[in-house]
Amino acid sequence: MLTTHPLEARTISSPTTASGSSWQRQAKLWSSLKEVCDLLRIPAKVGNDDFQFQHMQFKAGQRIHTIGQYFDTLYIVYSGFLKTVMIDDLGNEQVLGFPMKGDMFGIDGIHRKQYATETVALTNCDVVLLPFKTFSSLGRTHAELECAIYGVMSRELVREQAMVGTLGSLSAEARVARFLVLLSERFTEMGYSGTQFNLRMTRQEIGNYLGLTLETVSRTFSAFNAIGLISVDQRAIVIHDLQALRTLRRLPPARVRAKTEAQKAARLAAKSGIAPA
């Protein structure tokens, strides 16, 4: 049974609030091998294995691992939202992804035995630790499980490659649309609403991820809202036409958007019994 790990010595250095203390006290401390497999959405025939995997809690803004840190652990998101970034020699940050429930991260450390990226909590997070030595040990006795976890790693890489392809071939509006579709699909996979959700990342972080400016992301959200594809209120998003977002290539011409917005205003006015101006 796995009971200790060097990361247990880590402490949370952020100021502790009353709500933060309550969150930590209620957090899960350990997960069984079967629970980890369920979290990763892979089949598990683990019998009576008594492996237990430690959880760690992080507050928004804390780093789970840093660039250059010695690699010894893979991480699985149990709850919360994070961002994985690269930082160049000048300190510029490039967002590579937004890990969320059921995602594995830290696999970039396998090659050189040190992490090439860093992962930062965007919200309070609960992360399952998968020591690489333990994973290697499991692989010797559970060949199917080892193959399935490698499949999870591949899934993460394919997702990143798909986004790179998207950045190179789509307009700015289409990139934002695909991003919303991706979030919708991920929330649906997690059992949440795929049409109503809150963005856990800022518009600047979205722009960094998509290769766009903050202004472009904000302007595109406003345009989508104006033509009725979504409703947006700060970080709250309601998707009205997921298929249109999925197939969108470019925004309609400004005159068409203006006409659509006028029709939308007229419908709202009619519902409220107010004559349009």
pLDDT tens digits, residue range 41-80?
988 666 556 789 999 999 999 999 999 999 999 999 999 9
Q: Judge whether 262 and 272 are in contact, CB under 8 Å.
A: no
The CA-based angle 246-247-248, given to 5 degrees, is: 100
CATH 2.60.120.10 domain extents, the chain: 6-167
Residue 88 one-letter amino acid? D
Residues of the chain with CATH 1.10.10.10: 171-271
91: left (phi over 0), alpha (psi -120 to 50) or beta: left
CATH number of the 171-271 domain: 1.10.10.10
Tokens 């991003």 belong to 179
pLDDT of residue 112: 94
Residue 3 has pLDDT above 60, yes or no: no
Q: Residue 57 in 3-state DSSP?
A: strand
In this prediction, residue 17 carries a pLDDT of 41
Residues in the chain: 277
Does 275 have pLDDT greater than 60? no
Confidence of residue 166 (pLDDT cuts 50, 70, 90): confident
Q: What's the average model confidence in pLDDT over 189-199?
A: 95
pTM of the model: 0.82
Q: Which residues contact 273 (CB under 8 A, 6 or more apart)?
A: none
* Assigned CATH for 6-167: 2.60.120.10
Q: Which residues pair with 125 in a beta bridge?
A: 58
CA distances in angstroms from 148 to 23, 43, 144, 153, 227, listed in the order given: 32, 8, 6, 9, 43
Least reliable range by pLDDT among 38-47, 102-111, 130-139, 235-244: 38-47
- The pLDDT value recorded for residue 46 is 60
Asked whether the predicted pLDDT for residue 19 surpasses 80, the reply is no
Number of C-beta neighbours around residue 18 at 10 A: 7
Does position 18 have pLDDT exceeding 50, yes or no? Answer: no
Q: How many CB atoms sit inside 10 A of residue 13's CB? A: 8
Q: How far is the CA of 101 from the CAs of 40, 75, 82, in angstroms?
A: 9, 11, 10
Rounded average pLDDT over 14-28: 54
Sign of CA dihedral 183, 187, 192, 195: positive
pLDDT band at 27 (very low <50, low <70, confident <90, very high): confident
Residue 254 predicted with pLDDT over 90: no
Report pLDDT digits (tens) over 219-244: 999 999 999 999 999 999 999 999 99
Q: For residue 168, what pLDDT band results from cuts at 50, 70 and 90?
A: confident
